[in-house]
Chain A
Amino acid sequence: MFTRIKEFFDGTTLSLFVTMVLVFLYMYLLNGGKYVDSYNIRSMAYQLPIIGFLAVGMMFTMLTGGINLAIVSNANLNGLIICLTLSWLTNSDSLVRNNMKNATVAQVVIAIAVGVAISVAIGVFHGFMVAWLRIPALLVTLGTMTFIIGVNEAATRGYTISGFPAYITSIGTENLWGIPIPMILFVLSCIVAWLLLYRTRFGFSLYMMGANETAAKFSGVNIMKISILQYVVSSLFASLTSLVMIGQLNSIKANYYESYVLVAVLACFLGGVDPNGGFGRLASVIVATFILQFISSGLNLQRLDPYMVTAMWGGIVIILIFGRALIAYFRSQLKRKTLEGGLL
């Protein structure tokens, strides 16, 4: 048990945990009781899952040194597909003047299934291009991102389309025994992600591929299969994001949350995921998303410019880079001293 706890609080996670507590305390001091009242906690619980889904989805691709720039546009496309299917099923005149509101449960389920199917297809395409053609993931996903945003813009004509049925909006806004449904989804998906990463061959192969792809290949890892699976999982997280997103905003647009692609990468990096692959723990990434959320909620309560949040997010990463470098420096000094001491 003790080793487990020690393992959980390894260097990065511990320093992140401390950072999280410090950030929380700072924001509490800044905002006072307003920060910890039920209203703010609830609003954080509704907002956090979106960053969380994107970060965990991004993490699955970054573990092998890849990246999924298309994750947010994928989520938007998923919403668009749900919207298209629903308005087709309910015989709407057009996308803008739809009568999705009257959709039945069965229709909603079909629409979500179609959306998920499209996301899976995108994931398979990404994995295939990366594994078979050996194109850097950055380029593949940059291409699909541009393409998908184009499709979204062409389909919505730049309009915001609203009027989703209550079954979908309740996913984003309702709660179960006082716990917001997005949060429940987030916790469940984190458990699934944890099981996938640390209790299956797939997860082990991911870390192995990230550390050394050639070695992984020669130890019998099916590179193609793992690549496709990892991008499919990433796309499924985009689907989840999309459900919560359209649930909360009750509308879709070509590019909601566009800037969150880079925030998700940032969260992963903050969580100690090595962009070259092979390293990174789920717990750290989740703690990192909490840090980002604490900052943004705290500054929102201060009625500060939302761009201040952006600046703070960038700043905290730079500070962390400095901090980690300092720790590494002192560690190496300490090691040298003990070594010298041992020699003498």
Chain B
Amino acid sequence: MRRYFFNRHEWFLVGVLVVLSAVITCINPSFLSFENITDLLKSFTVLGIFSLGMFMVIVSGGFDISFTAIAQAAQYAVVALLMFRWASIGDIWVAIFLAVLFGLVLGCVNGAIIHFFKIPPIMVTIATQNLYYGIMYVITKGDLIHDIPLYYREFSYARVIEFHRVDGAPYGLTLVTAIWIVLGIAAALFLKYTRLGRSIFALGGNRISAERIGFNICLTTIFVYGAMGAIAGLAAIVDVSIAGSVIPNSIVGKELQIIAAVILGGTAITGGKGSIQGTFLGVFLFAVLSNSLTLLKIPSYYYKVFTGLVILLAVAGNALQIKRQEGKKVRVQVDEIRAGGA
């Protein structure tokens, strides 16, 4: 049972989450209400959707810094296009389709450069982040778009499960959160049960072995970065529908926080190891942490101090565990050699 759904690191995260939630609930009982939790999930949906794409990239042994720039550019381009040019076909699903397409193309460009020129992904994506973001900013001149069409707001208000408070205000699981969770489940199944999904893990585990076994490295690499771009496009539309306006610097700069959430979920930065469940838990931990600071009335300046501490502790704890296991392994080997010799 222990290894069935969660692995050791993930059970540890679950434990931390439970303890943290229990402490906060003792101090502020409103924390564990269905309303607070669904609100919390909604506000972390954008980060959560990004983290799914990021997870795939890191598991494949890659790295992506440019996805926030892709999201930003996709958001601006699609919202502006549907407002000023193609207002007649303006619809949330059209917007999502166009943004995903936009992100897919830019993501594939990243993947192609990384694959064909054999340049470390972090370098390529830093360069393309500057490029995409710079071009977007130059074209848009940094103007905000305020009065966006109504369908964006309606999209973020739509709920899958709806309840009403005593005073009549609705609350419940929002559609955007449901999309995030469904997408996560789909990604987990895809990674586990399809050939392309397995090849992503194989590529991250050992590139040369994956190539020799016969996986198509080129396709896998371009797919991973393309998927990251497409997911960034989706997240961009979710972001604009929640925020209610297009602010050209609202997403760029958050990339390291998203990477941190994925790492916190137990994904190895070197690739090949990790799980979608862990990624969800990493995002939840960030969500609960930020919410607890708010509920405990700690000023928001301290948020990053705690985030940094959590990252450092999680990473150090994980490393200590690995170190201990390796120590054991060496001891076992020594014992075996001794036993064989005697």
Q: Do A and B bind each other?
A: yes
Residue A232 is within 8 A (CB to CB) of chain B in the complex = no
**In the complex, A147 Cα to B301 Cα: how many Å?**
11
Q: Cβ of B142: which chain A residues have Cβ within 8 Å of it?
A: 307
CB pair B117–A275 under 8 Å, yes or no, is no
Nearest Cβ on chain B to A309's Cβ, whole angstroms: 7
Given contacts A136-B269, A258-B253, A310-B130, contact A148 B308 (CB under 8 A): yes
Give a binary string over A142-157; 1 marks a CB under 8 Å from any B CB, 0 the rest.
1111111111011001
A311 in contact with B308 (CB, 8 Å): no
Task: Decide yes or no whether B328 CB sits under 8 A from chain A.
Answer: no
Contact A151 B117 (CB under 8 A): no
Q: Which residues of A contact B126 (CB under 8 A)?
A: 262, 265-266, 269, 314, 317
A289–chain B nearest beta-carbon distance, Å: 15
- Tell me the count of chain B residues lying within 8 A, CB to CB, of chain A: 49
Report Cα–Cα, A309/B130, bound state, in Å. Answer: 9
Bound-state Cα–Cα, A321 to B135, Å: 19
- How far in angstroms is the closest Cβ of chain B from A255? 10
Report the contact-size class of chain A (Cβ under 8 Å from the partner). 35 or more
Q: How far is the CA of A321 from the CA of B110 in the complex (A)?
A: 13
Given A133-B316, A135-B316, A146-B260, also A314-B122 (CB < 8 A): no
A149-B304, A150-B307 known; A318 vs B128 contact (CB < 8 Å): yes
Query: CB < 8 Å: which of A145, A310, A318, A325 contacts B256?
Result: A145
- A321 with B113: CB separation less than 8 A: yes
Give A195 Cβ to nearest chain B Cβ, in Å: 28
Name B21-68 residues within 8 Å CB distance of A.
Answer: 65
When chains A and B are docked, how far (Å) is the Cα of A145 from the Cα of B308? Answer: 7
- Are A146 and B131 in contact, with the CB atoms below 8 A? no
Asked whether any CB of chain A lies closer than 8 Å to the CB of B119, the reply is: yes
Q: Which of A142, A150, A269, A312 contacts B304 (CB 8 A)?
A: A150
* Choice from A140, A265, A305 contacting B122 with Cβ under 8 Å: A265
CB distance from B96 to the nearest CB of A (A): 27
Say whether A69 faces chain B, with CB atoms less than 8 Å apart: yes
Partner of B312, one of A140, A149, A312, A315: A140
Give A157's nearest chain B residue, CB to CB: B301
Complex alpha-carbon distance, A305 and B120, angstroms: 29
Measured CB to CB, the closest approach of chain B to A186, in angstroms, equals 23
**B319 contacts A133, C-beta separation under 8 Å:** yes
Q: Which residues of A contact B256 (CB under 8 A)?
A: 69, 142, 145-146
B141 contacts partner chain A, Cβ-Cβ < 8 Å: yes
A144–B305 CA distance with the chains assembled, in angstroms: 9
Q: Contacts A158-B301, A314-B129, A322-B117 hold; do A139 and B315 have CB atoms under 8 A apart?
A: yes
Name the distance in Å between A10's Cβ and chain B's nearest Cβ.
20
Partner of A142, one of B113, B123, B138, B259: B259
Chain A residues closer than 8 Å to B331, beta-carbon distance: none
Which of A133, A153, A154, A307 meets B133, CB within 8 Å? A307
In the complex, B137 has a CB within 8 A of chain A: yes
Smallest CB separation, A96 vs chain B (Å): 14
Please list the residues of chain A having a beta carbon within 8 angstroms of any beta carbon in chain B. Answer: 67, 69, 129, 133-136, 138-140, 142-151, 153-154, 157-158, 258, 262, 265-266, 269, 275-276, 304-305, 307-315, 317-318, 321-322, 325
Q: Which 10 A-B pairs have the closest CB atoms?
A: A311-B134, A147-B308, A150-B304, A314-B130, A314-B131, A150-B305, A307-B137, A146-B308, A310-B134, A143-B312
